[in-house]
Amino acid sequence: MSSGDDHPYANPAEEGADLLSRLSTEMVRAQKKYFGRGPTRTKAYMLDDFLLIVMRGSQTQAEQTMLEFGQENLVREFRQQFENEMTSRLVGMVEEITGRKVLGYQSQILFEPEAVIEIFFFDKPAEESEIRATARGQLDDPSLGEARDDAHQDEV
C-alpha cells in the first residue's frame, strides 16, 4: 500500500472499508445476474488470509417452495452444484477486486438462519487496513463492509 500525498484515503481503514463494501456489492450483482435474484443484505469480512462474505435474503421463489415441501437436501445440492460451476467467475471477480490470488473457495447455504456463506482463501494475508476495516465494522460501525442498500436492484 502506498503512502504520501497521492493516497486517495485520509484514513487507511477507509480504504479497507471501501474494498469490503465493493466486494459485497459485486457479489450481490453476481448473484442477481446468475441466480436471477440478489441477496437483500450482504457483508464482507477480511480476516488474515481469507475473505468471508455473508449473504441473507437470497433464496429464490423456487427454492422457498421446495423448502416448504421439505426438500432441503435438493435445494442444498442444487446450490452446491451451481456454486461449483460458478467458481471461476466468482474467484476471478474477487481476485480482480483484491489484487490477490485465491487458492481455495467454498460456498455453503444455511436455512436457519437463512444465509449463504462464501469463503475465499488467499495466497497471502490481508492488508492491515482491510483487517482494521472489519474490526472497526464490528466495533464502531456495523455497516462497514456491507453492500450498497440498493445493490440488489442493479441492472446486470
pLDDT tens track for 67-125 = 999 999 999 999 999 989 999 999 999 999 999 999 999 999 999 999 999 999 999 99
Rounded Cα distance, 23 and 92, in Å: 12
- Does the predicted TM-score (pTM) go above 0.85? no
Mean pLDDT, the chain, whole residue set: 83
Which of 13, 30, 154 minimizes the C-alpha distance to 94? Answer: 30
pLDDT for residue 137: 61
pLDDT confidence band for 9 (50 / 70 / 90): very low
pLDDT for residue 142: 65
Rounded Cα distance, 58 and 32, in Å: 9
